[in-house]
Amino acid sequence: MSHSPSEFWIAFGTAILAAATIWLAWITARTANSTQKNDKEVKAIELFITFNELQHTIANEPEPHSDFWPNNSMLAITEGIHKLTIGDECWNRTVIWMLEHQKLFLEVHGADFGTFVPSFSTLMAAVIPSLRDSRPRHVPVVRSANSDA
């Protein structure tokens, strides 16, 4: 069975179109991944700047007892940067530095490890070995009306 030259060119064009589609999909995915990484980096930098602004505010507070909420915000920012940059060794060292600057606050108030992602709780405990878990020991589990259990 012989094929006409036009059938050959149609098949060839279809193959080229399929290859171009696959290549375009790969380029699009790669660009999206790069954009997502850049967005995370920008957000981490914004959070780090906010952290430093809060540190400056606390350092200039005339009343030393009014620093709980700014310190609490700094801890949330530190965890946010940790979650955004997991796997980036430079940012990990920055998060460790941030935790070291929050050592006194954390030692005084403790930390409810259950409210943080496990990797951040582990990091906090490694950076501040004296840190105690302030989580209540017997917390009832409240289920919503929509839960399966």
Cβ neighbours, 10 Å, residue 40: 17
Chain segment 21-58, per-residue pLDDT in tens: 888 887 877 777 777 777 888 888 888 888 888 877 77
**Residues 129 and 107: beta-carbon distance below 8 Å:** no
Per mean pLDDT, which range of 59-68, 80-89, 110-119 is the poorest? 59-68
pTM of the model: 0.61
CB 124 within 8 A of CB 111: yes
Stronger pLDDT, 140 or 104, i.e. the higher one: 104
Structure confidence at residue 49 (pLDDT): 83
36 against 135, higher pLDDT: 36
Structure tokens at 86: 């997991």
CA distances from 37 to 10, 29, 44 (A): 40, 12, 11
- Is a pLDDT exceeding 60 seen at residue 84? yes
Q: How confident is the model at residue 149 (pLDDT cuts 50, 70, 90)?
A: very low
| Averaged confidence pLDDT in the chain | 82
Q: How much is the pLDDT for 135?
A: 67
Give the CA distances from residue 85 to residues 48, 92, 94, in Å, rounded to whole numbers and listed in that order.
12, 7, 10
DSSP symbols for 86-103? TT-HHHHHHHHHHHHTTH
Q: Which two tokens stand for residue 138?
A: 């017997």
